[in-house]
Amino acid sequence: MRAEPGRRAASATAMGVPGLTGFVEERGAFFAELRVRDTKLVIDGSSLYYHLFFASDADCRRGGDYGQFAAAADEFFAVLRSCGVAAFVVLDGGRGAADRKLRTLQERAAERLRRAQGLSRGDGGRVLPLLARLVFVQALRRAAVPFVQCWAEADREVAALANRWGCPVLSNDSDFFVFELTGGYCPLSAFRWRDVRAERSGRYVPARRFEADSFCGHFGRLRRSVLPLFAVISGNDYVDAAAFDGFFDQVRLPGRHGRTRGLLGWLAGFAGPEEAADAVLKRLGRRRRDAARELLSAALEDYEPSEVNLEEFFLEGRYRCREAEASGLPPWMLGASARGELAPLVKNVVTLRSTFLHVQMEDMRRPSAHRAALPIRQVLYGLLLRAAPGADAQCKSQSGALPAVCEFDRVQKSIKKTFVEAASLPAPFGDDGFALDKLVEVPVPRRQLLLLETLGVKMSLLESVPAHLQLPVAVTCYWTRCSEPKVNLHHLKALLLMIVSGELHRITNDPDLTVLHPEDNSIAYNEFLKWKEEKLQNKDFDLDAAHGFCQWQCCLEMGLYLNQLLCSPLPEPDLARLYSGTLVHGLYQELKSTPSVENVFSPSPNMTALYQALLNTVMSALPPDFFQKKTEARSESCKKKKASKKTKAVRCAVSETQRLCDVNRFASLSVDD
């Protein structure tokens, strides 16, 4: 388990044994002090980015302060290097072919929604912002940290690599208490990387390593080989503990962690896992026995090290996995996936026709913020499913006309599944050249054209925009036009000012950049820092604005995924400098009361010109009276609502019928709710 309620945020993809972390950590005798230095260290990447984000105290409610998070990641890996530690990060991939964790993922999605609802009400809580994983991957590349994205869940491959090298595993996943690890398991909660010590022999990170022999000895003759059976019977991400309810009635002990203590003490009476498993099955009813035997057999394999040789990937760049090779995906996609150049969503859509859309801190009274990015996802699905293996056999929409993807997303205040038809790509994109196996060979201009057509922007419109900002600006054009309810001019200006602030930070903090008038930029940057210190103390929160900026992140996420699938016809932006939730909300509030904040970068002619170029680009993609018509429609709607003499206060909303985004040129696309 990556986390426990009230202590650390739960990961969306982690394995774990309920209650085991708390049980072990309450008894510090099961740990030995460890000085981590001059060693390889295999790191569970999913655990690490959750841990670093929340340890950095970065904002959750306003969509994430990714710069603060990225800085924490940079500092973490710099500390490891200073201690002679060679870090190797292993990330979870998509869901397994059998989709055995579907129930657990649905439960975690529902729990994430509950936390997001609490945040929206101001009740506190934490939700990992939407782009945090992408920011972490960019941080790994920037720090030149070797990493791999596994085909499915990473735990078994982490264990196999650590055992091959005889080095520790760093994670917050309680399953690593169960794996047999020659180099031991170090929980992130006890890895004091901010408290580096120095002695004559060098620097080291104080940590604690779990001592499995000490743990087993606490229960008499408990054998390590029986721990996987304990984990399975207790219930993990693959097994519902309710399957063994009748058995637990016989071994439960009173008090805190009574079931855990009772089960471990009972298992200590057996010579090995086979004898213990037979004893468990005998205590179940005959009707349940056969099903439970099959369940145990499959689940126990989850604690055996994987056959995938990650050392081969880190030395030679080859990731060989039987399940991946059986998927039918072309070799270039398998390689890109292992290098983290394609999101797990891509694999899930191709192999399972299913994906989870993560809930953010948004306005729960409105449709999901992901609705704004629906046309982008449909094009993405169209590319993935038009020639994907088994595309015609699974997950059809009710009409049966086009392949469909089952999306798990928020519908009002619950998680529900919706079948979304893939887009049927028109000429010139519907030919065999855009088949997955040939996509990498398509000329860059054609791939770029498909990306920009999806976003409703022409390349000529982006010519005045720096190359590394062209994708987020194109997404901003799309978002401005397709968000619902429509964003206003303050939303747009706040977003663009935030983007410019990231550019100013990049220029003034990178000694390798040569720019015109650096003194002007330095003055503007210092003045901006003073403005932030003074103005961002305002804690006012606007839920409407938050929902609009959530939609922008949803659109950017899918724009990034489509760009990746098309082999990056546009450069990928630095997300850590691109978005700061605290800043964009602060700018929005200031623009409403003090329009002159638009001139915050006036000491720098370069930054002023950049802001104006970005604003002109977006405005050029909109009808001339776009924001004026929006304001008039809202005003008229308010008048009508006042005239109706409703006793309940309601929000003013645009009364016109919701239109399909005019940028979606891809046939008639429907959603089966």
Q: What per-residue confidence (pLDDT) applies to 292? A: 85
- Tell me which range, 473-477, 529-533, 597-601, 650-654, is most confidently predicted by mean pLDDT: 473-477
Nearest to 305 by CA among 214, 183, 146: 183
Q: What per-residue confidence (pLDDT) applies to 516? A: 52
- Per-residue model confidence as pLDDT tens digits over 127-138: 999 999 999 999
pTM above 0.85, yes or no: yes
- Joined tokens for residue 655: 């009364």
Tally of CB atoms within 10 A around 516 = 8
- Per-residue model confidence as pLDDT tens digits over 625-670: 899 865 555 555 445 444 443 434 333 333 333 333 433 434 333 3
Q: What per-residue confidence (pLDDT) applies to 198? A: 95
Q: What per-residue confidence (pLDDT) applies to 229? A: 93
The answer on pLDDT for 47 being more than 70 is yes
- The DSSP H or E segment spanning 208 is strand 202-210
Give me the percent of the chain exceeding a pLDDT of 90: 68
- Per-residue model confidence as pLDDT tens digits over 22-42: 899 888 889 999 999 999 999
The answer on pLDDT for 250 being more than 80 is no
Contact predicate 29/212, CB 8 Å: no
Dump the DSSP string for 523-538: HHHHHHHHHHHHHTT-
Nearest to 12 by CA among 26, 2, 23, 27: 2
pLDDT, average across residues 339-360: 96
Task: Mean pLDDT check: name the lowest of 90-94, 280-284, 657-661.
Answer: 657-661
Residue 611, helix vs strand vs coil: helix
Sequence-distant (6+) residues with CB within 8 A of 576 are 66, 67, 69, 70, 71, 135, 138, 139
Tally of CB atoms within 10 A around 296 = 21
Banded model confidence at residue 467, pLDDT cuts 50, 70, 90:
very high
Nearest to 78 by CA among 190, 171, 203: 203
DSSP state of 569: S
DSSP state of 353: S
Which of 13 and 533 is assigned the larger pLDDT? 533
Sequence-distant (6+) residues with CB within 8 A of 65 are 58, 59, 580, 581, 582, 583
Tally of CB atoms within 10 A around 446 = 15
The answer on pLDDT for 440 being more than 60 is yes
Beta strand pairing status for 354-356 and 202-210?
A: unpaired
Nearest to 342 by CA among 95, 146, 149, 70: 149
Q: Rounded to the nearest 10 degrees, what angle do helices 273-282 and 286-300 cross at?
A: 150
Task: Mean pLDDT check: name the lowest of 70-84, 188-202, 234-248.
Answer: 234-248
331 CB-contact burial (10 Å; exposed 0-12 / middle 13-18 / buried 19+): exposed
Cis peptide before 485 (omega within 30 of 0): yes
Give me the percent of the chain exceeding a pLDDT of 70: 87
Sequence-distant (6+) residues with CB within 8 A of 25 are 187, 189
Could you give the CA distance from residue 652 to residue 360 in angstroms, rounded to a whole number? 23
User: What is the chain's mean pLDDT, rounded?
Assistant: 87
Sequence-distant (6+) residues with CB within 8 A of 94 are 151, 152, 344, 345, 346, 347, 348, 351, 352
Tally of CB atoms within 10 A around 90 = 29
Could you give the CA distance from residue 130 to residue 479 in angstroms, rounded to a whole number? 16
- Tell me which range, 271-285, 302-316, 507-521, is most confidently predicted by mean pLDDT: 302-316
- The DSSP H or E segment spanning 198 is strand 197-199
Which of 182 and 290 is assigned the larger pLDDT? 182
pLDDT, average across residues 598-603: 94
